[in-house]
Amino acid sequence: MGNMKLSQRINNTPSSPIRKLEAVARNAKARGIKIYHLNIGQPDIKPPAIMINWLKKSTINQIKYTESQGDRRLIGSLVKYYGRLGAADIDEDNIIITLGGSESILWSFLAVSEIGDEILVFEPFYTNLRGYASMAGIKLAAVTCKIEDGFHLPPNQVIKSKLTGKTKAVYLCNPNNPTGTFYSPAEFKRLYQFCLANNLFLICDEAYRDFVYQKVESATALNFEKKSKSGQIIVVDSFSKRYSLCGLRVGFLVCRNKELISSVLKFGQARLSAGDLDQQIAARLDVVPGSYLKRVRQEYQSRRDIIDQGLKNIPGAIFKKPAGAFYFMVKLPVGDADRFCQWLLTDFHDHKETVMLTPANGFYLTRGSGQEEVRLAYVLNKKDLKRAMIILQKAVARWNR
């Protein structure tokens, strides 16, 4: 191509560590190995019947552009949803529909920062944030959380030490991907007040809001600023995990700052609209019975307990039982988790079966962090999870021999 070069932006965008072992896994399957996929947050639970039945019965014969802000019925359903969560002042002008939660994160980054600015994240963090930051031309600054503390937030002075004149926002996923940590209302309030004091936006990713396994109001971050109505909290969210609709690619961004929403709408107009059919399916959220999420939460909780028990049977494994989402971060006594995860797919099997995990170093910015840690997603049925944990136990023992 002569002197033609690709952009620095694209060269700086990392490949996904969650998907980097896909080719290795394909080769294992070609050799007849059955793989238990604990590596990716793709739920196996059926979506709400009311959504699927609507799609089956639909007589739709034209799939149109929708409004750039989003389908009106869907936005109306979300207004009701936030009303039930206690944020009754949220109206249609506080919400914009996006292509998955991914676009809402990217847009929030673009809306609050200039090229070269920084956004504070807590590591280990959702690895795709790196890609969004690279697209937006900004830097992520990492505050390290420790596995021994269950990855809870460090004291304010530690967070403050990472601020610079270019810091514009803090991003927090609650409950957290990849750690499963649920930040308590008191912990979240401390972070919100920190952001208020330091004039920072707080971008709160609530994709796993309905998966908390302890007594707590299933409330939204928006409730913390009900009195001040400061508009500094930006909620990004998605239908992927809550309703097992990963392929639907519908997300949303919610903020009391209507100037931010109307400004972000310009991005929406530039890409025209989210999918018509996808939004019409998602719009049925207001008729999904409450029993659906209750049942799903109970199912994930019992799966979590299987992983917890299985990890207790691995000598030297370090972890804290997570209180939310459907992930475990665990430090395994394997030295190099990257090599171990690869070896599981290339050299190891137990009766022609193995497990696929995600090495955790890709969830950290700090070099050398997470070397022995892996993330497990408990998105398989209980029988398969029990078998996967037995395989993992045998694999760690054989690796260490």
Give per-residue pLDDT as tens, 262-293. Answer: 999 999 999 999 999 999 999 999 999 999 99
Confidence at residue 229, expressed as pLDDT on a 0 to 100 scale = 73
**What's the predicted TM-score (pTM) here?**
0.95
Query: Could you write out the three-class secondary structure of 64-116?
Result: CCCCCCCCHHHHHHHHHHHHHCCCCCCCHHHEEEECHHHHHHHHHHHHHCCCC
Over the stretch 116-167, which tens digit does the pLDDT of each residue have?
999 999 999 999 999 999 999 999 999 999 999 999 999 999 999 999 999 9
Confidence at residue 1, expressed as pLDDT on a 0 to 100 scale = 57
* Residue type present at position 296: V
In angstroms, the Cα distances linking 208 to 81, 101, 190, 376 are 15, 11, 21, 16
Domains and CATH numbers, the chain: 9-46+291-400 (3.90.1150.10), 49-287 (3.40.640.10)
Q: Is 241 helix (H, G, I), strand (E, B) or coil?
A: coil
Over the stretch 219-239, which tens digit does the pLDDT of each residue have?
899 999 977 777 999 999 999
Mean pLDDT value of segment 239-254: 95
Confidence at residue 196, expressed as pLDDT on a 0 to 100 scale = 95
The alpha helices in 31-71, defined as continuous H runs, are 49-57
Strand partners, 37: 356
| Nearest one of 113, 119, 172 to 141, comparing CA atoms | 119
Taking the C-alpha atoms of residue 245 and residue 92, their distance in angstroms, rounded to an integer, is 23
Taking the C-alpha atoms of residue 299 and residue 154, their distance in angstroms, rounded to an integer, is 31
Over the stretch 32-88, which tens digit does the pLDDT of each residue have?
999 999 998 888 899 999 999 999 998 888 899 999 999 999 999 999 999 999 999
- Complete DSSP assignment for 271-339: T--S-HHHHHHHGGGGGS-HHHHHHHHHHHHHHHHHHHHHHHTSTT-B----SBTTEEEEE-SSS-HHH
Tokens (6 digits) for 208: 């796993």
Residue 251 burial by Cβ neighbours in a 10 Å radius (0-12, 13-18, 19+): buried
Taking the C-alpha atoms of residue 349 and residue 182, their distance in angstroms, rounded to an integer, is 34
Confidence at residue 18, expressed as pLDDT on a 0 to 100 scale = 67
On whether the CB atoms of residues 143 and 149 are closer than 8 A, the answer is: no
Instruction: Tell me: pLDDT of 98 over 60.
Output: yes
Lookup result for tokens 């799939």: 63
Confidence at residue 218, expressed as pLDDT on a 0 to 100 scale = 61
Over the stretch 162-185, which tens digit does the pLDDT of each residue have?
999 999 999 999 999 999 999 999
Mean pLDDT over each residue of the chain, to the nearest integer:
94
Confidence at residue 10, expressed as pLDDT on a 0 to 100 scale = 86
